Amino acid sequence: MPVALIAAISVTATACESSSGDGAGTEAGSTPAAASGAADYHPTPYDKLKDGGTYTTAGTFDDQGNPFHVNGTLQATRVWAWYNANAITFSPTGEVRYNPDYFSDVKVSVEGGDQKVVLTINEKAVFNDGTPIDWTAIKATWKANNGSDEDYAASTTDQYRQITGVGRGKNDKQAVITFKGVNASWPSLFTTFLHPKAAKVDNFNKAYVKKAHPEWGAGPYTVGKWDTHSGNITFVRNPKWWGRKGRLVKRVYVNLEQTAQVNAFKNGQLDSVTAVDAESLKQLKGLKGTEIRSGGSPFVYSLYFNAKSAVLGDKAVRKAIQESVDRSQLAKIQFQGLDYGEPLPGSALLYSFQKGYADNVSAVLKYGPDRAKKELDAAGWKPGSDGIRAKDGKQLEVGYTMVGDEPLDKATAGALAAMLKPVGVRLSVKKADPADWAGIVNERKFDLIISGNRSMDPFGARYLCETYCSDSDSGLTGAGSPELDKEIRATSDIADPDKQTAAANKVERKALQDYARLPLYSGPSTYSVKKGLANVGATIFYNPLPETVGWEK
């Protein structure tokens, strides 16, 4: 999905976290050197699963169901994967795995400094409408995402732009992809692909809005019921599937508010549920016939600053606010009762359990409210009689959009307001309905907001432009410059992945000096799951193939 990643697909934060740069994630002395890289999902071979059963969780479709679209979300990616191709996946730690049901052979070579990838597509592979899956699907996916046609609202284009062509190989079932230079992260571009009809611009942008198109899909499951009234979804076995049949008879999403999900699990209506905070974990622990599965998380939640808003257009104000945010205190709020700790995240690209990670936040930012006061003084923001600063007759009041109404949301908003008030900044908390979240961030209707991204693949450097380029449709902040964009894009031409990561870290440190995004926390992935449910839980970079999800014999 974007391919690979939705790499960082935006999701609403259920709470907040911390990070100053020089603070700890939990109590002093207890912070581990790296965030957890553990996976916990009861891995079970296909032949050990029984034939039959239903798997039900909370969930629904998002407004935009095309994961390649700039408005695609993590939930859209997860739903898409149940009725579309999962051609390339990754192990929990990020090793590439090719699915022979789609790509029967993959060859990568470098000639004259340029990379060539030859994908041989399974002879049996066919879309549900009868269209053969062949080289034209790979070409159509590339064309829709390479930025050559600006009418496509694609999530990420830079890596696709490095492809110079997609051609027919020895027959229609072979796609030859040629690159300018070498691209070590190319598998992330084709983890899934589009039906040529779905890749037409109008369909790409609009066809999946609150709709499914099972006829353009392919895989062990297809849509059984897509209920736009209730928001529920049911996937059933696909009679047109050529590979191993899905172990489950049905995969069901039930549209439930967060507050109702734990009770639904306790009542047996759901087979697994996320423990989002200490209270839900307390309720879920020890339930008969269930178990807790907890591991690391390829998420990073950040505090985003709208650099186009009236007050936050002043970089001095953004920097002062970041220096006033005690990320470690926010982390304590978030992780209280979870028996979890992590160092404060130093990057929006890589996680501390990954090779090549660097704490780029600490390199450019230190927690220091006193320093922030002096910088605001120098920028002309003077304290008033009520302690709130003003400049040119306007008080320094900043809006904070709180998405949701959970106790952690409120605690985070209150903590942020308490941190900023002594510095002379009034935080005005504005409550928003989670259903409005996509519109708020995509139309930049906020001053400050917390949002999270999940990396769907381990190639963090690949998302440098998507994250920080000034002209990126995925950039929430509006910060950056054409000059920095050039430096960012130059990193994509570095063939050696280790050198590319090192260069990306260097450029990220420059981008962070726009003070428009502050990484706050990752947190654990914790689930309560009915015993016997296999290949479900904390998977890090691994997305189990749909046919391998099921119940033990």
Residue-wise pLDDT for 304-360, tens only, equals 999 999 999 999 999 999 999 999 999 889 888 888 889 999 999 999 999 999 999
Contact between residue 159 and residue 188 where contact means Cβ atoms under 8 Å apart = yes
8 Å CB contact between 465 and 482: no
Give backbone dihedrals phi and psi of 10, rounded to 5 degrees, phi first.
Answer: -80, 135
pLDDT surpassing 70 at residue 65: yes
CA pair distance 358, 349, nearest whole angstrom:
10
Ordered DSSP codes for 330-363: HHHHHHTTS----PPP--SS--TTSTT---HHHH
If pLDDT is split at 50, 70 and 90, which confidence band does 474 have? Answer: confident
pLDDT of amino acid 472: 84
Tokens coding 491:
């990193």
- Asked if residue 18 has pLDDT above 50, the reply is no
pLDDT value of residue 26: 35
At 39-59, the pLDDT tens digits run: 999 999 999 999 999 999 999
Q: What is the pLDDT of residue 433?
A: 86
Give the angle subtended at the CA of 265 by the CAs of 260 and 270, to the nearest 5°.
105
Share of the chain above pLDDT 90, in %: 78
Both tokens of 238, joined, read 């696909």
Alpha carbon distance 83, 222 (integer Å): 5
CA gap 80, 75 in Å, rounded: 8
Q: How far is CA 94 from CA 117, 187, 460, in A?
A: 20, 11, 11
Taking only the tens place, the pLDDT of each residue in 84-125 is: 999 999 999 899 999 999 999 999 999 998 999 999 999 999
pLDDT for position 30: 58
Distance of alpha carbon 183 from the chain centroid: 21
Distance of CA 319 to the CA centre of its chain: 25
pLDDT tens column, 480-505: 999 999 999 999 888 788 899 999 99
Asked if the model's pLDDT at residue 392 lies above 50, the reply is yes
Question: Do 205 and 517 meet the contact criterion of CB atoms below 8 Å apart?
Answer: no
Query: Which residue is associated with the tokens 């160092």?
Result: 343
Q: How far is CA 202 from CA 156, 193, 208, 222, 439, in A?
A: 18, 17, 10, 23, 20
Contacts of 298 (CB under 8 A, 6+ apart): 351, 454, 455, 456, 522, 540, 541
- So what's the pLDDT on residue 454? 85
Q: What is the DSSP letter of 475?
A: -
Provide the 3-class DSSP secondary structure of residue 90: strand
Confirm if 109 and 176 have CB atoms less than 8 A apart.
no
pLDDT digit string, tens, across residues 155-207: 988 889 999 999 999 999 999 999 998 888 899 999 999 999 999 999 999 99
Residue 407's pLDDT band (cuts 50, 70, 90): confident
Contact 43, 534 (CB under 8 A): yes
Class of domain 63-209: alpha beta
Decide if pLDDT at 4 tops 70: no
Tokens coding 290: 């269930």
Q: For 388, how many CA atoms within 13 A lie in the half-sphere containing its CB? A: 13
Q: Is the pLDDT of residue 23 over 60?
A: no
C-alpha 266/C-alpha 235 separation (Å) is: 23
Q: State the DSSP code for 480.
A: -
Task: Output the CA torsion sign for 428, 433, 436, 442.
Answer: positive
Pick the range with the lowest mean pLDDT from 2-6, 371-375, 500-504.
2-6
Strand-pairing partners, residue 426, are: 397
pLDDT one-digit tens code per residue, 204-243: 999 999 999 999 999 999 999 999 999 999 999 999 999 9
CATH 3.10.105.10 in the chain, residue ranges: 3-38+298-521
Residue 20: its pLDDT value, please?
A: 28
Q: Is the predicted pLDDT of residue 12 greater than 70, yes or no?
A: no
Residue type present at position 532: G
Q: Mean pLDDT across the chain, nearest whole number?
A: 91
Residue 519's nearest CA partner among 276, 305, 294 is 305
Query: Mean of the pLDDT values across residues 396-403?
Result: 95
Length of the chain: 553
Angle between helices 497-512 and 482-490 (to 10 degrees): 160
Domain with CATH 3.90.76.10 in the chain: 63-209
Helix-helix angle 369-378:315-324, to 10 degrees: 160
- The partner residues of 154 in beta bridges, in order of sequence, read 69
Asked if residues 533 and 551 have their Cβ atoms less than 8 Å apart, the reply is: yes
Phi, psi angle pair for 534, to nearest 5° = -105, 150
Q: What is the predicted pLDDT for the residue at 29?
A: 41
For residue 14, what pLDDT is reported? 29
Reply yes or no on whether the pLDDT at 3 is more than 50. no
Question: How far apart are the two ends of the chain, measured CA to CA in Å?
Answer: 33
CB-based contact 10:73 (threshold 8 Å)? yes
Given a cut of 80, is residue 31 above it in pLDDT?
Answer: no
The conformation of residue 552, written as its DSSP 8-state character, comes to: B
Instruction: Return the half-sphere exposure (C-beta side, CA atoms, 13 A cut-off) of residue 533.
Output: 25
pLDDT tens digits, 438-449: 789 888 999 999
Looking at residue 380, its pLDDT comes to 96
Distance CA 439, CA 431 (A): 14
How far is the C-alpha of 284 from the C-alpha of 265, rounded, in Å?
Answer: 9
Neighbours of 276 (CB within 10 A): 18
> With 70 as the cut, is the pLDDT of residue 1 above it?
no
Instruction: Say if domain 3-38+298-521 classifies as CATH 3.10.105.10.
Output: yes
Phi, psi (rounded to 5 degrees) for 299: -110, 150
The verdict on pTM exceeding 0.75 is: yes
Signed CA dihedral, 245, 250, 256, 262: sign only: negative
What is the spatial distance between Cα 1 and Cα 415, in angstroms, rounded to a whole number? 36
Is 521 within 8 Å of 412 (Cβ atoms)?
A: no
Q: How many CB atoms lie within 10 A of CB 429?
A: 16
Average pLDDT over residues 138-164: 94
Of 519, 522, 523, which is closest to residue 20 (Cα–Cα)? Answer: 519
Task: Identify which of 8, 78, 138 has the alpha carbon closest to the alpha carbon of residue 472.
Answer: 8
Do 72 and 242 touch, CB atoms closer than 8 A? no
